[in-house]
């Protein structure tokens, strides 16, 4: 059955993606693999929101589990009941992944929270955030800033660029898969098990009766 196969494939595909997002967000909370920056509140705001842990992580993992289990559902009534649940689950999964994607790319564009030199000495802030009045002023367009502005944590710019990019890309892919799964479950809800074989199952029939 096409619907069941698609549910199973989407569920299996989302599992490693969710794990990747959880790992990336966890690493973002510990620059240079040190806990003191988090304990002192010197971690990028978008990382502390932990959308990769609860959004593209836990919510997506929970959805992936239900997708795989629903792909094994037998019986017309039980199948359609599961499809209703999966439409709701897919929508929640899509919203969680999309939110994580937006937060990740916003964090990427803003640049990391770090310690940098000012006229009054070293201070903590977000020195690389772009000037909205000047197009193309972001640090992403000027790699010479990556190692010359932030003093602590060391190499935090590269750390944030790589991890936010991976988390944003993976959560974006999760969003596309969840959107496709919404269409898939709606087709299963309307057409039943057999639409892939040019058969429509509009109603349930008792065993032994034609």
Q: What confidence tens digit (pLDDT) does each residue in 50-86 have? A: 999 999 999 999 999 988 887 666 656 667 777 888 8
Residue 195 or 125, more confident = 125
* Locus of tokens 């029939």: 205
pLDDT in tens, 76-117: 666 777 788 888 999 999 999 999 999 999 999 999 999 999
CA–CA–CA angle 6, 9, 11 (5° rounding) = 105
Q: Average of pLDDT values for 124-148?
A: 81
* Alpha carbon of residue 54 to chain centroid: 9
With CA atoms as reference, report the closest residue to 65 among 123, 18, 22, 104: 18
Q: Which residue has the tokens 């994607």?
A: 101
Average pLDDT over residues 22-47: 95
185 burial via Cβ count (<10 Å: 0-12, 13-18, 19+): buried
CA distance 24 to 149: 23
What are the angstrom distances between the C-alpha of 11 and each of 31, 45, 191?
A: 31, 30, 21
Which pLDDT band, with edges at 50, 70 and 90, does 193 fall under? low
pLDDT (average), residues 125-140 = 80
């Amino acid at each position: 059955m096409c619907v069941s196969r698609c549910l199973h494939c989407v569920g299996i595909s989302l599992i490693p993606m969710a794990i990747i997002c959880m790992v990336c967000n966890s690493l973002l909370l510990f620059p240079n693999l040190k806990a003191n920056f988090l304990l002192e509140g010197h971690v990028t705001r978008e990382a502390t929101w932990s959308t990769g842990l609860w959004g593209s992580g836990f919510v997506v993992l929970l959805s992936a589990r239900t997708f795989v289990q629903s792909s094994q559902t037998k019986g017309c009534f039980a199948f359609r009941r599961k499809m209703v649940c999966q439409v709701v689950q897919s929508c929640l999964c899509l919203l969680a992944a999309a939110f994580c994607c937006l937060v990740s790319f916003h964090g990427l564009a803003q640049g990391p929270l770090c310690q940098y030199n000012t006229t009054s000495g070293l201070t903590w802030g977000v020195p690389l955030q772009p000037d909205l009045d000047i197009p193309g002023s972001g640090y992403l367009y000027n790699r010479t800033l990556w190692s010359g502005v932030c003093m602590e944590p060391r190499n935090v710019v590269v750390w944030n660029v790589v991890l936010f990019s991976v988390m944003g890309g993976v959560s974006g892919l999760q969003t596309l898969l969840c959107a496709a799964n919404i269409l898939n479950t709606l087709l299963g809800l309307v057409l039943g098990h057999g639409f892939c074989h040019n058969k429509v199952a509009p109603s349930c029939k008792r065993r032994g009766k034609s």
